[in-house]
Amino acid sequence: MGLSVIVPVYNGEKYIKECLESIINQTYKDLQIIVVNDGSTDNTESILVNIRKIDSRILVINKKNGGVSSARNLGLKYTSKEFITFVDSDDTLDKDMYELLMKYAKEKKFDIIHCGYKRINNDGIKLVNDTGDIIVQENKEALECIIEGKLFVPSLWNKIYKKSLFRNIEFDEDLKINEDVLVNYRAFKNSNESIFIDKAKYNYFEREESACKNTKSVKKAEDCLKVAKIINDDCKNSSLSKSTMYKYIGCLIELYRSYYYTDKIKYKISINNIRTEINLFYKKNKITGKKNKISSFLIIHTPHLYGVIYKIYDRIRVPNWDV
C-alpha cells in the first residue's frame, strides 16, 4: 500500500528541514517522500542534499522555477505508492498523522481520508474544530461541503488520496490561488466514499511570506472566479447547481469589489461587464442568498453607495478562514 508525500519547495531554507523531519519521524513508515525544489535561489538545495543522506525514502527533484502547481504536477509523475498526499514546505505534522489516516485507508478502504488541523501564528495555536467526530461521506455529500464551505477546508495538506483518483487530474499552473479547491473538487468527484476524522493533526503556519498572503487581491479574485466558473459549468443540470451558482455569483461580486477598490478607472470596462452579468442573473431570478441579493441590487442600482457601505463593512468584519 504505502503513501507518497509530495513536498514542493521554493526558497524554503528557514523551514524545510523542520518540515521534512516531521515527515521522516512519522510513526507510519511506508513512505515515499518526494521533494520538488522549484528553482530555489537560497540554501534550500544544500539542505536537501544533506537531509537526503540520512533517509533513503527521500527523493529530491530539482527543476526550474514554475510555481507550486508545476512542482506538484512533476511530483505526481514520480509517485509509486497506492496513496498520495501533499505537504507545504513551511508546515509540520504531528508524528502520528499518517498512521491515523492510513489506518482507515487499509482497514476501511476509503478513497480519501482527511483530518483537522491547527492554525499557528504569532497569536498562538488555534485548534480548528478538533471535535473527535468521524464522518463518512459519499462523494455528493463531500462535494457539497467543498462548494458551500462547510465541515472541512478544501486544502490538500490534511488529506490522503487513492492515487487512482488522479489519473485524469492535473494542477492548473496558471492559478495562484484556489488550485487546491479545483483539484479537491475533481478528486472527490472521482471518489466513492471519504472519511473525515476531526482530530487536529496537521500544523498550518501562517507566515507573512506565504503565497496566500502575498498574492495580489485582483489575481486572487480572478482565480477564485475562474475556479467557481469551472465548477459551476460542470454542475449545470445537477443537484449541486444551485450551490455552485451561489458560489459563482459570490465570486463575481468579490471580483467587482477588487477591481473597484484597486483602480476603478483602470478596470472600468471589466467593472461594467460584471455589473451587466450580475444584472442579467438578477433579472432571471438566479441570485440566491440574502447577502448576494443585497450586494447585487446595490451594484446594479447604486454602485457608489455599495462601495461606501462595503468599505465600512470591510473594516469591522472579522474574516473566518476556517470551516
- For the segment 97-113, the average pLDDT, to the nearest whole number, is 94
Model confidence at 272, pLDDT cuts 50, 70, 90, reads very high
Model confidence at 211, pLDDT cuts 50, 70, 90, reads low
Residue 214 has pLDDT above 50, yes or no: no
Model confidence at 320, pLDDT cuts 50, 70, 90, reads low
Residue 234 has pLDDT above 70, yes or no: yes
Per residue in 42-93, pLDDT (tens digit) is 999 999 999 999 999 999 999 999 999 999 999 999 999 999 999 999 999 9
Read off the C-alpha cell for 163. 492515487
Model confidence at 217, pLDDT cuts 50, 70, 90, reads confident
DSSP-assigned beta bridge partners for residue 196: 114, 135
Q: Tell which wins on pLDDT, 317 or 299.
A: 299
Please compute, for residue 253, the number of CA atoms within 13 A of its CA located in the half-sphere on the CB side: 26
Residue 191 has pLDDT above 60, yes or no: yes
CA distances from 3 to 17, 28, 147, 200, 304 (A): 20, 9, 27, 20, 53
Mean pLDDT, rounded, of the chain: 93
CA distance 69 to 75: 10
Letter for the amino acid at 138? E
Q: What is the DSSP code string of 228-256?
A: HHHHHHHTTTSTTHHHHHHHHHHHHHHHH
- For the segment 275-304, the average pLDDT, to the nearest whole number, is 94
